[in-house]
Chain A
Amino acid sequence: MTTQALLQVLASGLLMGLIYALIAVGLSLIFGLMDVVNFAHGEFLMIAMYAAFGLVLLTALDPIVLAPLVAALMFCVGGLAYLGVVRFAMRAKANAGMVQIFATFGLAILIQGAAQYLFTPDYRNIQTSWLGGKTFEVGGVFLPLPQIFGGFVSIVAFAGLYLLMTRTDFGKALEATREDQGAVALVGIDRNKVFAIGWGLGAALVGLAGVVLSIFYYIHPQVGSAFALIAYVTVALGGFGSVFGALAAGMIVGVVEAITAIVLPPALKSIGVYALYLGVVFIRPSGLFGRL
């Protein structure tokens, strides 16, 4: 393998990894906030991709421009999912963990069915983006522009998230709620509001990822499932609840997947990621950066 080929694999793996991190970070954020794994996370991604697709048809604008709008829309979807479903799952006295899992799984199946009903099972793609199909070449390494854009959006989103969590009152409320749900009520923080906004934020982040993906990936009702498992693995690898862990793990997952795709038949490209994940959690049961 030449140096150039190696660079090519690393660069495209890292870019895809940044997008994986962006898909996964909302999941990790929500878990860190309230110990809930959202098994409808992949479906949030799918909704965002359809939203981008629909808005492109509606406005004839470029998906890049529509990203903030889709994120805002997804913020509402996430908030609603919390207020309409998850809030009630939190009340379960018996089998609490199981209720969360199956309530969000039920939501996932429902969303998939609704997408199939409304948009048919057909594969769609956005053909009108400025970035679509263009590549950027540096020193013999070819990188598709949509992925470069995706990596850029991901970095910006992580930087924004970092600032939000460290520099704003909401970030402080989020951190406080993470640490002690009971105590925040005493200082006048409405726990439900923080959770709803947290879910909104998580969904908005995966919404950005959805816009990015919609530029270079097919859109169909099961598209969420394809990315969901990678997202869960990324979150678990980084450590549940760790935002920085999701970023690091996303990049690792992207690179490992790119390398596996060359070494093994393409159909097996996920095997490397899964094996790596299992290897890590067997050594560190709480992931790379997780707190037990």
Chain B
Amino acid sequence: MSDAMALTATPAEQAAFAARRIRQLVAAAIVFAAIAAIPLALSDVYLLNVLVLTLMYAAVSQGWNILGGYCGQISLGHALYFGVGAYATSVLFVNYGVTPWAGMLVGGAMSAIIALMLGYLCFRLKGHYFSIATIVIAEIGLLLVHNWDFVGGALGIQWPFGPDSWATLQFARNKLPYVYFALGLLIATWLVTWMIEDSRWGYWWRAVKDNPEAAESLGVEVFRSKMAAAALSAFFTAIGGAFYAAFVSYIDPESVMSFRFSLLFALPAVLGGIGTLWGAVAGAFILIPLTEITRSYLGGSGSGLDLVIYGALVMVVALARPEGLTSLAPRARKGAAS
């Protein structure tokens, strides 16, 4: 488990660390149980939709966080992986009748492979060069999908209407199953992140983020670390995309691959606190309902006021809390896994 700890920590420190890890799990159980109970108090279809989107963005942002927050590689092109997941699932289901459950794994695997191929090329780039390369690559993906008739080109793919069923992830009337699927995805990404925090990869990624040169000199395989983080991050993002395709039942290139998605995946983690267990979840629960609700109330006529509020919020939080909102939580943050 924690070989890295054993080198430096006294038995008492180790016991305290183990106890804190357990406390994190208990806290997570309580939080997720509370989220699962929200629909009991909420029957409004619109608000349930907002909840589904919030959970989905929280999960995908948690996935983005693995690469951006823990490993320090700021990707602004994750819409590509989201799109690959959405398209793989949709094409397999609509054209070949493959259940979305399998399609989503195919999309996830494809995304992970694409992330490895792109990582092989991109991880030599530093800082802004890397971020801009990710934007450009996602944009290329969008243009290609746009002009690729096999996946519906500019028109996109419409999922057929069928009976409500878990096998096809289609629920026309009742949105509850979507809430639970999105929550399940969030729990999965959270648990993986929690396990990473005290694993060799987790320590390596944080070392790569803090100081790649120093990490390299201490024997951390920087390039391999980045590749692993990219593949895992892309996999979860693609699962999110697959779920989104099933949820909205119609996708086209702009609605799953445009740049604003790349921003929306990064923002919750940035607002909540990157490289933390709860940052992406906290950020999503603030940002997504706020943007969705202001959009409904203010942006309906394309007035743009919703964008003004959204932009101001992003700006103010980035400036006021560079370490994210979770840093406001009243507790001592010490030790390796904080």
Contacts and interface: CB of A to CB of B under 8 A. Distances in A.
B315 A116 contact: no
Given A97-B127, A240-B129, A271-B140, 7 more contacts: A95-B270, A106-B311, A112-B307, A229-B136, A236-B128, A282-B121, A285-B126
A99 to B, nearest CB: 5
A163 interface: no
Contacts of B302: 116, 120-121
A270 B136 CA distance: 10
Given A95-B323, A120-B302, A89 B128 contact: no
Interface of B: 74, 76, 121, 124-129, 131-133, 135-137, 139-140, 143-144, 146-147, 259, 263, 266-267, 270, 274, 302-316, 318-319, 322-323
19 contacts: A37-B131, A88-B319, A96-B322, A97-B127, A98-B74, A98-B322, A105-B314, A110-B308, A115-B304, A116-B302, A117-B305, A229-B135, A232-B132, A232-B135, A278-B133, A281-B133, A282-B121, A286-B129, A292-B126
What is the predominant secondary structure among interface residues of chain A facing chain B? helix
B131 A85 contact: no
Nearest to A239: B129
A101 B304 contact: no
A286 B311 CA distance: 31
Given A267-B146, A268-B143, A240 B126 contact: no
Interface size class of A (residues with CB under 8 A): 35 or more
A106 B310 CA distance: 8
Contact of A109 (B127, B274, B307, B322): B307
Nearest to B154: A267
B140 A282 contact: no
A268 B128 CA distance: 25
Given A98-B274, A233-B136, A268-B147, A109 B310 contact: yes
A108 B143 contact: no
Interface string A70-104: 00000000000000010011001111111101110
A220 B239 CA distance: 35
A285 to B, nearest CB: 5
A282 B147 contact: no
B5 to A, nearest CB: 24
A118 to B, nearest CB: 8
B313 A229 contact: no
Contacts of B125: 281, 285
A92 B316 CA distance: 13
B126 A113 contact: no
A105 B263 contact: yes
A275 interface: yes
A106 B147 contact: no
A285 B135 CA distance: 16
Nearest to B309: A113
Nearest to A104: B315
Contact of B323 (A94, A111, A116, A265): A94
Interface string A137-159: 00000000000000000000000
